[in-house]
């Protein structure tokens, strides 16, 4: 009887040891940015105080959960589809080679550094790299405190930031248009459907 009990304990111990060494599943499935509900926009100001507000109607993004539990965001926005509503002349200028240069650079991309999941609830800084017009620079966005327990799912995530367009080679029209491009986003998330 002792011999069987000892063998059973040994086999159980080996099974538990193997289970502990097996790769653990990722903490959570990635979430997609919900392109039906999210709103991604920008604003530039003229030297006479006029505000030109634009939108990015075409974009894609994902929020991944890393093995250590931190999150990382990847976001691509179509500069070729960006527009300033009801202002076709300004839209053409903005897509042109003196601003987004959308023919040669139809996408801009932001990849965040890993951040703690609590940042979405508490608010804070979202640091990453922005690639625009072939230039890649470190940028920082601000996440506002959430108004619900599940940010992105039950309420939007407010993300704001501003970039200096001259850092990306968009330095034409400095006399008429300010250097800052303000980013304003209301981001919703959704489950990533299984392949």
Q: Is the pLDDT of residue 93 over 90?
A: no
pTM: 0.80
Is there a domain that residue 19 lies in?
no
Beta strands (DSSP E) in the chain are: 31-33, 39-46, 51-55, 59-65, 71-78, 107-112, 124-132, 135-143, 157-164, 177-187, 189-191
Residue 183's domain is classified under what CATH number? 2.40.128.110
Q: Does 10 fall in a domain? A: no
- Quote the mean pLDDT of the chain: 84
Q: Is 12 among the domain residues?
A: no
The answer to the question of residue 154 being in a domain is: yes
Number of domains within the chain: 1
State the pLDDT at residue 59. 96
Residue ranges making up the domain that contains 111: 26-191
**Is 15 within the bounds of a domain?**
no
User: What pLDDT, on the 0 to 100 scale, is given for residue 19?
Assistant: 34
């Amino acid at each position: 009887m002792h011999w069987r009990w000892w063998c059973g304990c040994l086999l159980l111990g080996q099974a538990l040891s193997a289970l502990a060494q097996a790769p653990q599943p990722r903490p959570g499935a990635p979430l997609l940015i919900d392109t039906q509900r999210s709103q991604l926009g920008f604003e530039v100001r003229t030297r006479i105080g006029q505000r030109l507000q634009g939108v990015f109607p075409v974009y894609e993004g994902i929020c991944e959960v890393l093995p250590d539990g931190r999150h990382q965001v990847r976001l691509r926005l179509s500069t070729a589809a960006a527009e300033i509503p009801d202002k076709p002349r300004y839209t053409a200028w903005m897509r042109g080679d003196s601003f987004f240069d959308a023919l040669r650079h139809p996408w801009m991309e932001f990849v965040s550094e890993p951040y703690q999941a609590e940042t979405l609830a508490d608010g804070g800084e979202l640091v990453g790299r922005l690639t625009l017009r072939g230039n890649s620079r470190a940028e920082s966005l601000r996440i506002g405190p959430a108004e619900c327990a599940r940010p992105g799912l039950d309420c939007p995530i407010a993300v704001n930031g501003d970039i200096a367009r001259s850092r990306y080679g968009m330095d034409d029209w400095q006399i008429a248009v300010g250097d800052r491009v303000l980013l304003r986003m209301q981001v919703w998330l959704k489950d990533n459907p299984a392949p």
